[in-house]
A and B are shown apart, each in its own frame.
Chain A
Amino acid sequence: SQKIEQNSEALNIQEGKTATLTCNYTNYSPAYLQWYRQDPGRGPVFLLLIRENEKEKRKERLKVTFDTTLKQSLFHITASQPADSATYLCALAKGGSQGNLIFGKGTKLSVKP
């Protein structure tokens, strides 16, 4: 069966360090992968999309990589700040219907000052 795993439920790091979150999947060949941020009591907010033919995407302090051989995406936040503390969700396009996303369970990131 198709599976997405975000390896850490929680990640604690010191302010200024780089946070690296992992998303692994099995039995998929997704056309693209997305990362979302979710704060408590709020809906997810889109951060980045990376397509199957792209290796890396950047946006300000954020960087996403996509390795279709390893079936893995890494999400990096450089120079992390306490305001980056949130739950980060990866989502894969299931294929077929547009927008049919399968979400991972998320990694809760805490950045300590």
Chain B
Amino acid sequence: QSVLTQPPSASGTPGQRVTISCSGSSSNIGSNTVNWYQQFPGTAPKLLIYSNDQRPSGVPDRFSGSKSGTSASLAISGLQSEDEADYYCAAWDDSLSGGVFGGGTKVTVL
């Protein structure tokens, strides 16, 4: 059972917009920034969004993040086949004094 809650799966057709939610609490998302990671099978995760809504250099602007209260979301607009991957949210938890991740969302391009 992950501290941050994500839907296990999401899907869309090419060109569509897909949104992934990440729900937490006042001790994690409510008081710290949220980061998002993309992971392909057999590879290490890659930082996709940091500080709620910032994209590292090289990440397409099709990916965007937002945060409100104790929830955050990742949006993929103009979905492409190469976006098929697992996506994880993460935040620091002040009560646990540790990092927490969501359970991951598998995005499928139909």
**Interaction A to B:** no
B residues with CB within 8 A of A: none
Binding site for B on A (CB under 8 A): none
